[in-house]
Amino acid sequence: MSVAELLARCGRAVRGAALHAGRAGILFFVTVKALGRPRAWLSESFVQAKRIGVEGLGLVLLMGALSGVVMAQQTSNQLSPGLPVEIVAGGVVAGMLTELGPVLTAIVLAGRMGAGIGAELGTMKVTNQIDALLTLGRDPVIELVVPRVVAGTIILVPLVIMANAMGIFSGYAISTTLLGLTPEQYASGARGYYHHGALIYSLVKAVAFGFTITFTASYVGLRAGGGAAGVGRTATAAVVAIIVWIMVLDVVLAPVYKAVT
Amino acid sequence: MIEITDLHKKLGGHPVLAGVNLRVAEGETLAIMGPSGTGKSVLLKHIVGLMDPDRGDVIVDGISVPSADREGIGEVRSRIAYVFQNSALFDSLTVRGNLFMGLPPGACDGRVPECTAMARTALEQVNLSDDVLELLPAELSGGMQRRVAIARAIIGKRRYILYDEPTTGLDPINATRINELIARVSREVEATSIIVTHDIESAFFLADRVVLLSGGLVQAEGTPDELRETDHPAVREFLDAAPVAGVA
Ligand SMILES: Nc1ncnc2c1ncn2[C@@H]1O[C@H](COP(=O)(O)OP(=O)(O)OP(=O)(O)O)[C@@H](O)[C@H]1O
Ligand SMILES: [Mg+2]
């Protein structure tokens, strides 16, 4: 590849990214503006929240349980002799609240609700249902995007809380059965680490990730094209974009947390 | 009245519409014919502002669609019903929900019985029984979906109805039924209709005036009788290619 070609490619990539940023910015603006008319989206938001919650709950609990076990074992493995075993519980609580709870919940839901929203809106786009909404005097952002974004942003909070609780509980179970901690040691280790800041950080992440998943999926879905195959590609593209954004956000939020606590 | 002047649109680098001029008078039924891919659907989308022209204008009852603001577009859309080529029913909503969407936003809030009565009437007009009210589009046959789409278009009693290939993909019996339905609906709701179709027979059956769109331009227009008689080469080529029209 020649230098000129490379430059041309970079140019196209930058231009594409700028276009996406602009369009997503417009969708963001329109979405936020529509929040001012809750009557238009409130009842549909409940429907969506219930659907997302019911569909995601089992998987989220399973992921929470597994990550609690992993955190307990990994922390226990790192323990050099002489260090208090209570650290295991601290490792579980810290790991669950700050990273595993919110991030794994978000990644599981990227696959579930992100792909679902991307495919659903993508199908509506390629089968002219979005155009039909417009010609019938409805606003697709209010009818489709806002309820999903509101529902996803809110519902992630209880889901993350449940994932955290599940992880801390499964960490307790494995610590007291296989890793040689007494219940009292686990409890005191957990209490020793826990502070409100960590929980708040966990929930801030839940809100940020919930928004990211639903907004990104809606944006990608509404841009679908190319028939049924296009919808498949759209669902995949939505999941990939969501996971990348979640990890980027995760990196960005870490120093903020450190500065605040 | 709908007035289209000098409409130009390029898509994917190719000129699709290259200066279309067209006028649709109040109460008229106009058929637009033309080979596949000549921009018939694209033309309809310009009328409701789903696409913006590169050049030219579309004026609906005095409102210029390309330069209208949000409110103007809303006003234009409130006067036009659009039956999409693939029906475009909302697949998460039942037939009832779909028909309610044909009414103005908020019209059914707290007025479900009244709206349901209107939905029943609309279904009756398209020869469907109200057993289908609670069914989802996926539970209907293609022909029934098409009829629900037409019912959704007429329930709001809009002034203009645009049909994009309402009979394509249907068997001859269902196609004939849909044609008769459109003819009856045009009479009953006194709407101005634009029907895009490949089907020469149905165009000649339904329309007061027929337009042949090809190569991005209106090649010919006239009453069905005028077009049958003409020796315009593009029209002859189009008509003679279809066996049914040869008989007509
Ligand atoms: N959104 C779009 N992006 C790019 N090209 C498009 C788009 N919509 C339509 N086209 C192109 O414009 C041309 C006209 O399309 P259109 O759908 O209007 O044809 P048509 O006359 O309705 O055909 P048919 O009778 O098969 O429905 C086609 O070549 C199509 O590929
Ligand atoms: Mg078409």
Q: What is the pLDDT of residue B247?
A: 41
Which tens digit of pLDDT belongs to each residue from A79-119? 888 888 889 999 999 999 999 999 999 999 999 999 999 99
| B94 DSSP 8-state letter | -
Judgement on whether residues A82 and A21 belong to the same structural domain of the protein? no
Cβ(B159)–Cβ(B76) under 8 Å?
Answer: no
Residue B197 lies in a domain: yes
Judgement on whether residues A4 and A119 belong to the same structural domain of the protein? no
B99 neighbourhood in chain A, CB within 8 Å: none
Judgement on whether residues A16 and A70 belong to the same structural domain of the protein? no
Judgement on whether residues A23 and A113 belong to the same structural domain of the protein? no
Instruction: Judge whether residue B246 has pLDDT over 50.
Output: no
Helix (H) or strand (E) run with residue B204 in it = helix B200-206
Judgement on whether residues B31 and B115 belong to the same structural domain of the protein? no
Judgement on whether residues A115 and A214 belong to the same structural domain of the protein? yes
Which residue is closest to B41 within chain A, CA to CA?
A128
Residue B74 lies in a domain: yes
Candidates B50, B103, B112, B161: best to mutate against A (most CBs of A within 10 A) is B50
Judgement on whether residues A15 and A59 belong to the same structural domain of the protein? no
Judgement on whether residues B11 and B107 belong to the same structural domain of the protein? no
- Distance (angstroms) between ligand 2 centre and the Cα of B50 equals 14
Instruction: Judge whether residue B243 has pLDDT over 60.
Output: no
Instruction: Judge whether residue B248 has pLDDT over 50.
Output: no
User: Considering its fold, how many domains does chain B have in total?
Assistant: 2
User: Considering its fold, how many domains does chain A have in total?
Assistant: 2
Cβ(A101)–Cβ(A64) under 8 Å?
Answer: yes
Q: Of all atoms in ligand 1, which is nearest to the CA of residue B39?
A: 18
Judgement on whether residues B117 and B201 belong to the same structural domain of the protein? no
Judgement on whether residues B165 and B57 belong to the same structural domain of the protein? yes
- Distance (angstroms) between ligand 1 centre and the Cα of A103 equals 43
Nearest to A132 among B80, B88, B92 (CB): B88
Count of beta carbons in the 10 Å neighbourhood of residue B28: 16
Judgement on whether residues A172 and A232 belong to the same structural domain of the protein? yes
Domain that holds residue A118: 40-260
Residue B183 lies in a domain: no
Which residue is closest to A39 within chain B, CA to CA?
B106
Residue B107 lies in a domain: yes
Could you identify the residue written with the tokens 């003819």? B183
Judgement on whether residues B164 and B51 belong to the same structural domain of the protein? yes
A131 neighbourhood in chain B, CB within 8 Å: 45, 50, 82, 84, 88
- Distance (angstroms) between ligand 2 centre and the Cα of A18 equals 33
Q: What is the pLDDT of residue B245?
A: 40
Distance between CA atoms of A93 and A67, rounded to whole angstroms? 11
Judgement on whether residues B12 and B65 belong to the same structural domain of the protein? yes
A43 neighbourhood in chain B, CB within 8 Å: none
Judgement on whether residues A9 and A110 belong to the same structural domain of the protein? no
- What is the pLDDT averaged over residues B214-223? 90
Q: With a CB-CB cutoff of 8 Å, which residues 97-136 of chain B face chain A?
A: 101-102, 104-105
Contact B88 A123 (CB under 8 A): no
Domain that holds residue B140: 91-158
Sheet with B2-11: list strands edge to edge: B14-24, B2-11, B55-60, B63-64
Judgement on whether residues A47 and A117 belong to the same structural domain of the protein? yes
Nearest ligand to the CA atom of B198: 1
Judgement on whether residues B201 and B124 belong to the same structural domain of the protein? no
Q: Which one is predicted more confidently, B170 or A183?
A: A183
- What is the pLDDT averaged over residues B41-54? 94
Q: What is the pLDDT of residue A132?
A: 96
Judgement on whether residues B172 and B112 belong to the same structural domain of the protein? no
CB of B37 within 6 A of ligand 1: the answer is: yes
A135 neighbourhood in chain B, CB within 8 Å: 48, 50, 77, 80-82
CATH value at residue B174? 3.40.50.300
Q: What is the pLDDT of residue B242?
A: 65
Render each residue's pLDDT in chain A as its tens digit; 261 residues: 788 899 999 999 999 889 989 999 999 999 999 898 888 899 999 999 999 999 899 999 999 999 999 999 999 988 888 888 889 999 999 999 999 999 999 999 999 999 999 999 999 999 999 999 999 999 999 999 999 999 999 999 999 999 999 999 999 999 999 998 999 999 999 999 998 999 999 999 999 999 999 999 999 999 998 888 999 999 999 999 999 999 999 999 988 888 877
**Token pair listed for B183:** 């003819």
Residue B184 lies in a domain: no
Judgement on whether residues A9 and A52 belong to the same structural domain of the protein? no
Judgement on whether residues A30 and A45 belong to the same structural domain of the protein? no
Residues linked to residue B222 through DSSP beta bridges, in sequence order: B210
Confidence of residue B74 (pLDDT cuts 50, 70, 90): very high
Q: Of all atoms in ligand 1, which is nearest to the CA of residue B40?
A: 21
Which tens digit of pLDDT belongs to each residue from B147-167? 999 999 999 989 999 999 988
Judgement on whether residues B14 and B49 belong to the same structural domain of the protein? yes
| B131 DSSP 8-state letter | G
Judgement on whether residues B124 and B235 belong to the same structural domain of the protein? no
Judgement on whether residues B67 and B171 belong to the same structural domain of the protein? yes
Contact A129 B105 (CB under 8 A): no
To test ligand 1's pocket by mutation, which of B40, B46, B54, B83 has the most ligand atoms within 8 angstroms of CB? Answer: B40
Judgement on whether residues A202 and A171 belong to the same structural domain of the protein? yes
Tell me the pTM.
0.88
- Distance (angstroms) between ligand 2 centre and the Cα of B242 equals 18
Instruction: Judge whether residue B172 has pLDDT over 90.
Output: no
Cβ(B1)–Cβ(B24) under 8 Å?
Answer: yes
Candidates B86, B148, B164, B194: best to mutate against A (most CBs of A within 10 A) is B86
Cβ(B156)–Cβ(B104) under 8 Å?
Answer: yes
Contact B104 A129 (CB under 8 A): no
Judgement on whether residues B151 and B166 belong to the same structural domain of the protein? no
What does each C-alpha distance from B21 to A192, B3, B14, B221 come to in angstroms? 79, 8, 19, 11
Nearest to A137 among B77, B86, B91 (CB): B77
